[in-house]
Amino acid sequence: MNDLQIFLDIATEAALAAGAVLQGYLGKLEGAIIEKGRPGDLVTVADKASEDVILAHFRRHLSEHAILSEESGQLGNQQNKYLWAIDPLDGTTNFAHQYPVFAVSIGLLVDGVPEVGVIYDPSRNELFRAATGLGATRNRIPIRVSETSELNKSLLVTGFAYDRRETIDNNYAEFCHFTHLTQGVRRGGAAAIDLAYVACGRVDGYWERGISAWDMAAGIAILREAGGKVTAYDGSPLKIESGRILATNSYIHDAVSQELMQVPPLTAWTQTH
């Protein structure tokens, strides 16, 4: 059997188990919510419980692989050919408020390239998964990106970094800019869900800054298998460590990239719009 298929199945089992843990904690945190350093950057007992389940699963089945997880950080040799980027609860702020947009995200980087992705949304019982060459699915049914080819007919999604209160490089200007150019811009609050929604055609494109490998590795693998395109803002090859991503259905990719590169700074917004 294809190794990627084996890895995909193992990651799927871990994501489903972690999703069940999250559902058990939903609405029952009882004040067990803390900030990790920046205002709004939350962690809960549910994040840690979900991560424990995932890590235990990987220790049983793929103990020789390295892991980069949001809560525990680097585990194992980070130069390993196989590196799992794991977010046990993407959308913690949503989860803490019982806003049903959150997910488990598990992605595999093979020599630095996302090759396997599993995103599980327990609120909707939606399981997105893919591996290179094996296609992308939602609840085991094949998915494809949308065919929207004009920016003015598109629906985009984005997010705002945790340091948005401290830096003017905070995506506010881009949000306003694209709201004027498209049929709308959404802000869900969970990067993994955003990428999954581009992959299945619910939205046509996504961009964001200030995110980590565990936020996007799984979604990148799924989106590429669904026919989408992922790059840096300027259209150059994506560098995951940059924390910036542009992901679209491919048809509007160049148009979104071009607009991103010419958005005026926030300080000039009132004078130019």
Kindly list the distances between the CA atom of residue 110 and the CA atoms of 84, 115, 154, 211, in Å, as whole numbers in the listed order: 9, 6, 33, 20
Task: Check pLDDT > 90 for residue 170.
Answer: no
Among residues 38, 271, 39, the alpha carbon closest in space to that of 173 is found at 271
Among residues 82, 12, 59, 57, the alpha carbon closest in space to that of 222 is found at 12
User: Where are the extended beta strands (E) located within the chain?
Assistant: 33-35, 42-44, 66-69, 73-75, 82-90, 103-110, 113-121, 126-131, 135-138, 141-142, 155-158, 184-187, 205-208, 229-231, 245-248
Domain architecture of the chain: domains with CATH: 3-142 (3.30.540.10), 151-272 (3.40.190.80)
Among residues 159, 196, 164, the alpha carbon closest in space to that of 175 is found at 159
Tokens of 89: 């609860």
Between 167 and 1, name the one with better pLDDT. Answer: 167
CB 129 within 8 A of CB 107: no
What average pLDDT does range 82-99 have in this prediction? 95
Give the tens place of pLDDT for each residue, 133-158.
Answer: 999 999 999 999 999 999 999 999 99
Give the tens place of pLDDT for each residue, 193-221.
Answer: 999 999 999 999 999 999 999 999 999 99
When the pLDDT of each residue in the chain is averaged and rounded to a whole number, the result is 91
Give the tens place of pLDDT for each residue, 20-77.
Answer: 999 999 988 765 565 555 555 567 889 999 999 999 999 999 999 999 998 888 888 9
Indicate the Cα dihedral angle 61, 67, 71, 72, nearest 10°.
Answer: 90
pLDDT score at 28: 85
Among residues 155, 170, 166, the alpha carbon closest in space to that of 243 is found at 170
Between 260 and 35, name the one with better pLDDT. Answer: 260
Specify the amino acid at residue 81. K
Tokens of 99: 């806003």
Task: Check pLDDT > 60 for residue 272.
Answer: no
Q: Which residues lie closer than 8 Å to 113 by C-beta, 6 or more apart?
A: none
Tokens of 203: 């939205």
Residue 147: burial class (beta carbons within 10 Å; 0-12, 13-18, 19+): exposed
In the chain, pLDDT over 70 holds for what percent of residues? 88
Task: Check pLDDT > 90 for residue 171.
Answer: no
What average pLDDT does range 247-256 have in this prediction? 98
Tokens of 132: 């290179």
Q: How confident is the model at residue 168 (pLDDT cuts 50, 70, 90)?
A: low
pLDDT score at 71: 85
Among residues 83, 63, 64, 61, the alpha carbon closest in space to that of 74 is found at 83
What average pLDDT does range 1-23 have in this prediction? 95
pTM for this one? 0.92
Give the tens place of pLDDT for each residue, 69-80.
Answer: 988 888 889 999
